[in-house]
Structure 1
Amino acid sequence: MNYVASIGSYAIMIKEVFKKPTKWRIMRSLILKEIDELIFGSLGILIFISFFIGGVVAIQTALNITSELIPKNLVGFATRQSIILEFAPTFCSIIMAGKVGSYITSSIGTMRVTEQIDALEVMGVNALNYLVFPKIVALLMYPFIIAVSMFVGILGGWMAATFGGHSTSADFAEGLTLDFMPFHVTYAFIKTLVFAFVLATIPSFHGFYMKGGALDVGKASTTSFVWTSIVIVILNGILTQLLLG
């Protein structure tokens, strides 16, 4: 019953976010601030992780090629498919659930604890629109950092394969273009936009409706990360079946 009530409260929150919008002059600065915090602030960790994950995928693929009948371009092919289809859109989103999701929950939760949200509502401001809408708009740029993650992951795979002596540049490049389907990139970006909405709203929900004191902010952040990750994994399965099944 609590889960049903939570889903209902979440739906009501989404509806309220788009009501009584804040003046554009104020909203613009809020959106730019969120873009800096949520998007550009996350580039570094995603680039670092993507580079080494791409390298690990390439090395593991190469080390598992034990038959001469298996073409050497499989290393590039497997790296491309792994990075574009799953690692960049899905695994990076789970990482972002920890970094960005925790930040959103703790920042809004702290405002709830210190009664700043109550002050906004007393002044006649739609607190949900003021706090959540800029995050939704900022995370519309999320596909940009996922595209960077794809590029860096494939680059890491190429460097690991060639400099590690597991494959030649020609074989790796041939694998990258082998049976390439442009829709796979489209599929990845569709998932990314859905995950971006989840990353913006579920952590905001847990922060906005949290109860208790300062210690409960940490608990809300943990709960937010768990549920955001669960929803991302479930939606990943549903979208994969719908788009690729």
Structure 2
Amino acid sequence: MKYFEEWKNTFLTEVGEIANFTVRFFREFFKPKQEFFEFLHQCYGIGYKTLPLVGITAFIMGLVLTIQSRPTLIEFGAESLLPSMVSVSLIREISPVITALICAGKIGSGMGAELGAMRVTEQIDAMEVSGTNPFKYLVVTRVMAAVLMLPVLSSLSNAISLYGGYLGVNLHGHVSWSLYWFQVFNALSYGDVVPALIKTFFFGFAIGIIGCYKGYHSKKGTEGVGRSATSAVIVASLSVFIIDLIAVQISDLLGLT
């Protein structure tokens, strides 16, 4: 019971600190003089350098989902519905969430480790002494880059995974290129595409905020840097699932599912 109370107090304290960190982010974001070139640099690091990993994962994901779904549909004589089923599954849920989890692992840990190393080596303190706003330069740019790049990566992941699905459909049969894409787009609707795209902005924001928070408040030297990177991945991944659950509930209430 004592352990549970300590865990609860620690959890509630951290939630409050993250909320305070988020409020500070919005306050700093609306202040003048945006760090535009640092923002572009972070977009390059988050978007372009993460694309190969996201692309390979998306391709395998679409291919495997198609191959695994075929036997079940054949049992019900519905093999012709395979492109439609795969497209809805990938666009609605699988592709955005898997992309966000990959980014939580790569981007979240990178932010936590990088800012944590800057904190323990007193580089952030030196920036404050020199008159630079380290929060705006280090945190705001990274969070905004994550918010912008997650939807882009998710959209590319959708396209690549659907192409993997096309190859999967043709491994044990033959569906023409035009027929496959006709069935894919015919199965998708506004309620499939738009909510899935909107929630990726929130995925990016959560990953950026948590990664930066963990690194910005890193302690205990190099050991703290490792802990910051690890906890950033865990908390960001959990946040992705929570946001996804909330998004699904909202979509259901609005009748978009």
Moved more, 58-67 or 92-101: 58-67
Cα shift at 1:126: 2.8
C-alpha distance in structure 1 between counterparts of 2:88 and 2:188, whole Å = 9
C-alpha distance in structure 2 between counterparts of 1:29 and 1:39, whole Å = 15
C-alpha distance in structure 2 between counterparts of 1:206 and 1:243, whole Å = 31
* Residue 38 of structure 2 is aligned to residue 15 of structure 1: no
* Residue 125 of structure 2 is aligned to residue 125 of structure 1: no
C-alpha distance in structure 1 between counterparts of 2:142 and 2:95, whole Å = 21
- Residue aligning to 1:88: 95
- Residue aligning to 2:6: none
Counterpart of 1:106 (choices 102, 113, 119) is: 113
Aligned length: 241
After superposition, what is the alpha-carbon deviation per residue over 1:102-127, rounded to whole angstroms, capped at 9, x for unaligned?
11110100000110111112223332
* Pairing of 1:160-239 with structure 2 (within 5 A): 160-162=168-170, 164-169=171-176, 172-239=180-247
* Pairing of 1:26-45 with structure 2 (within 5 A): 27-45=35-53
CA contact (8 A) 1:19 1:126 kept: no
C-alpha distance in structure 2 between counterparts of 1:157 and 1:235, whole Å = 27
Q: Return the TM-score normalized by structure 2.
A: 0.88
CA contact (8 A) 1:62 1:167 kept: no
- Residue aligning to 2:5: none
Cα shift at 1:215: 2.4
C-alpha distance in structure 1 between counterparts of 2:20 and 2:32, whole Å = 18
Cα 1:61/1:174, change in 2 over 3 Å: farther
CA contact (8 A) 1:112 1:207 kept: yes
* Residue 161 of structure 2 is aligned to residue 156 of structure 1: no
C-alpha distance in structure 1 between counterparts of 2:72 and 2:205, whole Å = 38
CA contact (8 A) 1:18 1:129 kept: no
Moved more, 15-24 or 200-209: 15-24
Moved more, 13-22 or 82-91: 13-22
Superposition RMSD in Å: 1.8
CA contact (8 A) 2:112 2:232 kept: yes
After superposition, what is the alpha-carbon deviation per residue over 1:18-62, rounded to whole angstroms, capped at 9, x for unaligned?
4454733xx111101101111111111101110111000111111
Counterpart of 2:10 (choices 2, 22, 28) is: 2
C-alpha distance in structure 2 between counterparts of 1:63 and 1:200, whole Å = 40
Aligned amino acid, residue 13 of structure 1: F
CA contact (8 A) 2:144 2:205 kept: no
Query: Could you list the runs of 5+ residues in structure 1 that have no partner in the other structure?
Result: none
Moved more, 121-130 or 146-155: 121-130
- Residue aligning to 1:73: 80
C-alpha distance in structure 1 between counterparts of 2:233 and 2:96, whole Å = 17
Q: Return the TM-score normalized by structure 1.
A: 0.92
Cα 1:105/1:70, change in 2 over 3 Å: same
Query: Could you list the runs of 5+ residues in structure 2 that have no partner in the other structure?
Result: 1-8
Moved more, 124-133 or 14-23: 14-23
Q: What SS does the aligned partner of 2:209 have? A: helix
Cα 1:71/1:167, change in 2 over 3 Å: farther
Cα shift at 1:167: 4.8
Cα shift at 1:95: 1.1
Cα shift at 1:244: 2.7
Q: What SS does the aligned partner of 1:66 have? A: helix
- Residue aligning to 1:243: 251
Cα shift at 1:182: 2.0
Moved more, 55-64 or 6-15: 6-15
C-alpha distance in structure 1 between counterparts of 2:131 and 2:247, whole Å = 39
Aligned amino acid, residue 86 of structure 1: E
